[in-house]
Chain A
């Protein structure tokens, strides 16, 4: 049962039977918006990059992005860089797998971000979404669709954080500017 999240909404990542999730996938999909005017068939490729930053007590301790595909502890894995986005099929173009049980005990928050590496703003992106999938069953838990594009080059999509013995996902949906996750650190801090 998919929950369509709105900004700021949180869902608990516990299954109905009370067991906690073991592995989730944060999938990201997007499509370049067609250009208006002459030469409209010339699609421009947009390289969005998904990153995950691991925080312990508000301090970043590790990051998973296209140049560091696996966190040192192996609990967070990026499935690889996609430079052009999808054809709008609805599948994930980039995905980050999180093995929740193996996240180091001191890591209490994982923030997922999206950056436009090629510099286009989200005005030129359509059908962009991020979704959280239970990796063991393939079931979609939550989906957050990026609202109409704006003059920004990055989004702080969501965070997954410890609550009690399990984890909770919160949709953040905060626009920001930056080419890679490093540029976003100041924008992430208020959400921790």
Chain B
């Protein structure tokens, strides 16, 4: 029974002699690289490709073909090899495909020499990539396993090889292209394999072994250098962690290397930036923990040593006692100084990293004053994360870490309009806090609206008493919200009733596995419900509906953004405690109420607010509504 692998999944390999069968809808070239235990390809001699098809333990086809069989003998591989990476690339030829996205999804299968399948993997979701890592065979504690990878490279074979640490990636890629071009020149249409044992494979790949006019195409390809990069894609987005887009000059003189944006793991640039931001968050949390524990230790040691000096009757009085206390204080000061130096060093490194990462962030994760918002266009794909605000710690106050939440939101958000004013005197009074809370909520709603493609996100507003009208102006004036803010108890009941029915319907459809039988004209867009002044205008029924939406909504695309003062809802008593607990609490004024998941420091949160006097919300919403009109 063959295992159907999904991306990232691994599967044990029962034997050393294997065959890897590739089938694609069009001729592709197949190759393999050998990596040592660190995954590094030590040189061109560790790459099996059409120009050098045979290496100890592995053999690939010398030409591009729609069907490949790679022979592998794991036992015959050099001792130092811990990883075999099986890759596919599109040969460059006029009229041929330039991107895997235009082909049927290639399939890769690991089989026993007899053809019995052990594991198979369909490389779905490829787009502009022209080279892809299909599978990886790797040695783990003496046993070999296969892992489905499916990592594509828009930068083509050269980018793929460079990613594996091969210094001569570009030359090797051009060698491969030449070898393929030579073989193309003498190629005959790849024969269909006599034994269609991966039967479903042939069926799915569609027109396998597409006919082609071999000779002229091949000769032309052999003449000039071939550009493997996809014309529609900037090379900057080509994922190759080994060669970051703005590779810094080699670090000199013991200086830490200059940080680079996107220097983290991930399948896309956005994901890598997201992971990098979380990495910076963790690093700052931990380096601060080191500093604080050193300071605590220094303090307790000083106390102990001072006590000792006092407890010893011989030295309690007189010069010896003073000297002992003086020495203890000096030790204390020296340790604090060292700890501060270590913290300063790490904070400086993180600050430098922040300086390159912030400008590179996509709009959804960027501050409102980031230039990316001035060049805002409605995106074609939803983002992976949203910036809720900034976090900082007192020891490293100028350094701000973006607080990013994964989308779609898993929890509702609660902007606490009753949050205690901050310690500084400039913080606003109660009315001012409420207004500020509403501004924060509107900025978040606009951000969510703007970063989703047209027709995939709607905002509805409940403002029962109309107190938020002023703050809501950017949304209402541009018509970016669906209908005017619902007012009064009747408005609240109508909107909540509609959303509750929607959640019911989608949940039923999902449970019954009948998502395609939703009523015609069903609006599939995610919904954000912005509630101001809770619980004003809410009766018991409405409160229950709201709790239902908070619990069940996120899973079916209905999200809540609430502006509320918990004291206003005190009449409900403990009934609403689960509601408050299930929401993520954010404050409109800086407040240290968020703990990191690693050491639990109290971080000061600052909301992502639009700079005073900026018209960016207006500009973004105008763009959103214009795109919507065009879309309809």
Q: Is the CB of B298 within 8 A of A106?
A: yes
Q: A74-B282, A106-B335, A138-B38 are in contact. Are A61 and B293 (CB under 8 A)?
A: yes
**15 contacting pairs across A/B (C-beta < 8 A):** A19-B254, A61-B293, A62-B293, A70-B286, A72-B599, A74-B285, A74-B290, A74-B598, A91-B141, A102-B287, A105-B294, A105-B335, A105-B342, A106-B298, A106-B339
Cα of A56 to Cα of B304 in the assembled complex, Å: 14
Q: A72-B286, A73-B289 are in contact. Are A104 and B342 (CB under 8 A)?
A: yes
Q: Is the CB of A87 within 8 A of B283?
A: no
- A residues 63-99 touching B (CB-CB < 8 Å): 70, 72-75, 86-87, 89, 91, 93
| Smallest beta-carbon distance A138→chain B, Å | 7
Cβ of B142 under 8 Å from chain A: yes
Contacts of A56 in B (CB 8 A): 297
Cα of A56 to Cα of B298 in the assembled complex, Å: 10
Cβ of B338 under 8 Å from chain A: yes
Cβ of B301 under 8 Å from chain A: yes
Q: A105-B342, A106-B297, A106-B339 are in contact. Are A73 and B141 (CB under 8 A)?
A: no
| Smallest beta-carbon distance B40→chain A, Å | 10
- Out of B38, B143, B285, B342, name the residue touching A102 (CB < 8 Å): B342
Q: A87-B142, A105-B342 are in contact. Are A73 and B286 (CB under 8 A)?
A: yes
Count residues on chain A whose CB falls below 8 Å from chain B CBs.
21
Q: Is the CB of A74 within 8 A of B297?
A: no
Cα of A104 to Cα of B297 in the assembled complex, Å: 11
Q: Is the CB of B142 within 8 A of A73?
A: no
- Out of B142, B289, B290, name the residue touching A86 (CB < 8 Å): B142
Q: Is the CB of A104 within 8 A of B301?
A: no
Contacts of A75 in B (CB 8 A): 286, 290
- Out of A19, A74, A89, A138, name the residue touching B286 (CB < 8 Å): A74
Nearest residue in A to B301 (C-beta to C-beta)? Answer: A57
| Smallest beta-carbon distance B14→chain A, Å | 16
Cα of A91 to Cα of B287 in the assembled complex, Å: 31
Extra pairs beyond A87-B143, A138-B37 (12, CB < 8 Å): A57-B297, A62-B293, A72-B289, A74-B287, A75-B286, A86-B141, A91-B142, A93-B141, A102-B287, A104-B293, A105-B338, A106-B294
Contacts of B335 in A (CB 8 A): 105-106
Cβ of B346 under 8 Å from chain A: yes
Contacts of B283 in A (CB 8 A): 74
The interface of chain A, by Cβ under 8 A from chain B, is 19, 56-57, 61-62, 70, 72-75, 86-87, 89, 91, 93, 102-106, 138
Cα of A93 to Cα of B142 in the assembled complex, Å: 12
Cα of A103 to Cα of B301 in the assembled complex, Å: 19
Cα of A104 to Cα of B290 in the assembled complex, Å: 5
4 nearest CB pairs, A to B: A74-B286, A73-B290, A104-B290, A105-B338
Contacts of B291 in A (CB 8 A): 104
- B residues 31-61 touching A (CB-CB < 8 Å): 37-38
Cα of A91 to Cα of B143 in the assembled complex, Å: 12
Q: A72-B289, A73-B287, A75-B290 are in contact. Are A89 and B297 (CB under 8 A)?
A: no
Cα of A19 to Cα of B255 in the assembled complex, Å: 13
For the residues of A in contact with B, the DSSP-based class is loop
Nearest residue in A to B282 (C-beta to C-beta)? Answer: A74
Contacts of B342 in A (CB 8 A): 102, 104-105
Cα of A165 to Cα of B338 in the assembled complex, Å: 12
Contacts of B346 in A (CB 8 A): 102
Nearest residue in B to A84 (C-beta to C-beta)? Answer: B141
Q: Is the CB of B38 within 8 A of A73?
A: no
Cα of A70 to Cα of B37 in the assembled complex, Å: 24
Q: Is the CB of B142 within 8 A of A72?
A: no
Nearest residue in B to A87 (C-beta to C-beta)? Answer: B142
Contacts of A103 in B (CB 8 A): 290
Nearest residue in B to A57 (C-beta to C-beta)? Answer: B301
- B residues 274-293 touching A (CB-CB < 8 Å): 282-283, 285-287, 289-291, 293
| Smallest beta-carbon distance B343→chain A, Å | 10
Nearest residue in A to B289 (C-beta to C-beta)? Answer: A72
| Smallest beta-carbon distance A148→chain B, Å | 24
Contacts of B298 in A (CB 8 A): 106
Cα of A19 to Cα of B283 in the assembled complex, Å: 24
Q: Is the CB of B142 within 8 A of A104?
A: no
Contacts of A102 in B (CB 8 A): 287, 290, 342, 346
| Smallest beta-carbon distance A104→chain B, Å | 4
| Smallest beta-carbon distance B83→chain A, Å | 14
Q: Bits for B297-312, please: 1 = Cβ < 8 Å to A, else 0.
A: 1100100000000000
Nearest residue in B to A104 (C-beta to C-beta)? Answer: B290
Q: Is the CB of A74 within 8 A of B294?
A: no
| Smallest beta-carbon distance A91→chain B, Å | 6
Contacts of A61 in B (CB 8 A): 293, 297
Contacts of B598 in A (CB 8 A): 70, 72, 74
| Smallest beta-carbon distance B164→chain A, Å | 17
Contacts of B287 in A (CB 8 A): 73-74, 102
Contacts of A74 in B (CB 8 A): 282-283, 285-287, 289-290, 598
| Smallest beta-carbon distance A52→chain B, Å | 15
Contacts of A106 in B (CB 8 A): 293-294, 297-298, 335, 339
Nearest residue in B to A90 (C-beta to C-beta)? Answer: B142
Nearest residue in A to B140 (C-beta to C-beta)? Answer: A91
Cα of A49 to Cα of B266 in the assembled complex, Å: 31
Cα of A138 to Cα of B37 in the assembled complex, Å: 10
Cα of A19 to Cα of B289 in the assembled complex, Å: 27
Q: Bits for B122-146, please: 1 = Cβ < 8 Å to A, else 0.
A: 0000000000000000000111000
Cα of A70 to Cα of B291 in the assembled complex, Å: 16
Cα of A75 to Cα of B288 in the assembled complex, Å: 12
- B residues 589-603 touching A (CB-CB < 8 Å): 598-599
